Structure 1
């Protein structure tokens, strides 16, 4: 099963910063005891970071998670909550990127992650680039990047 945990990209400074969001719904299949599992909150943050890399590389490079320096969960996500995702690049080379970010709900932080290290790999080895372009257009709703 593949989870798409980004519904919209609100702002993006390619190679530097992205703000995105995810509206949760009771109809999603991942709820456990009425809450979103913490690993999926982290996954949403990582997906925002992947879009930051994809957009910054004009869809040539994709981020693949290697490690998480730290992740602190400070709140719960319930059905109907909107995840606000804020990711910044700490460093980037041709082969790796390190990002840090925060997930909040209604202005309250539910996750702070630091030093998320990703390998940068050729995007066309993982996915159809035309489909990726369509998804980017849907997420950014035509915003000029």
Structure 2
């Protein structure tokens, strides 16, 4: 089973095809702090970019009603201004610069309070149905599960209907599922 890490806690603003803002509260309990760096926990820059890419990727995918598989194609520009660690809250803000049938360009900023943490330009590609199916099958691996659920919660908070994605049933031996 592949592990997926979600670097967004919730969306706080979302305007279809235009802009999205999400937040992530950093906790000392997160695994990456054990190695990066012992005694001076700092969130790794690639994980900061991943949160920004997740925010922008959902924005791009939603603009096309999630019909296409959206994949990160490249990050031609990224600049980091300061470190962040446990106890900080990151705000990811993304704006669509260009949206085309073959992909999109998103500009993003990461802030912690009033401080700029990072900024980046991210290119996303839309995989055509044939190529996407060859590589990944029918399952839309990007827009399933928790990321879609987070977007649905943002839409509900804004008073817009958003169906909750179907979650797989819990295994019978899962103690969190309760006793049968």
Give the TM-score range, shorter chain. Answer: 0.7 to 0.9
CA distance in 2, matches of 1:129, 1:36: 25
Structure with greater strand percent: 1
CA distance in 2, matches of 1:97, 1:141: 22
> What TM-score comes out, normalization by structure 1 length?
0.87
Please provide the CA RMSD for this pair. Answer: 2.2
User: Contact between 1:64 and 1:119, CA under 8 Å: does it hold in 2?
Assistant: yes
Please, which of 140, 143, 146 is the counterpart of residue 126 of structure 1?
140
Q: Does 1:94 align with 2:109?
A: no
Give the deviation of 1:60 after TM superposition.
2.1
Q: Residue 123 of structure 2 corresponds to which residue in structure 1? A: 117
Q: Residue 19 of structure 2 corresponds to which residue in structure 1? A: 17
List alignment gaps of at least 5 residues for structure 1: none
CA distance in 1, matches of 2:97, 2:144: 29
Q: Residue 103 of structure 1 corresponds to which residue in structure 2? A: 110
Q: Residue 70 of structure 2 corresponds to which residue in structure 1? A: 63
Q: Residue 136 of structure 1 corresponds to which residue in structure 2? A: 151
Give the deviation of 1:8 after TM superposition.
0.8
List alignment gaps of at least 5 residues for structure 2: 133-137, 162-180
Computing the radius of gyration from Cα coordinates, the structure with the larger value is 2
Greater relative contact order (Cα < 8 A, sep 6+)? 1
Give the deviation of 1:30 after TM superposition.
1.5
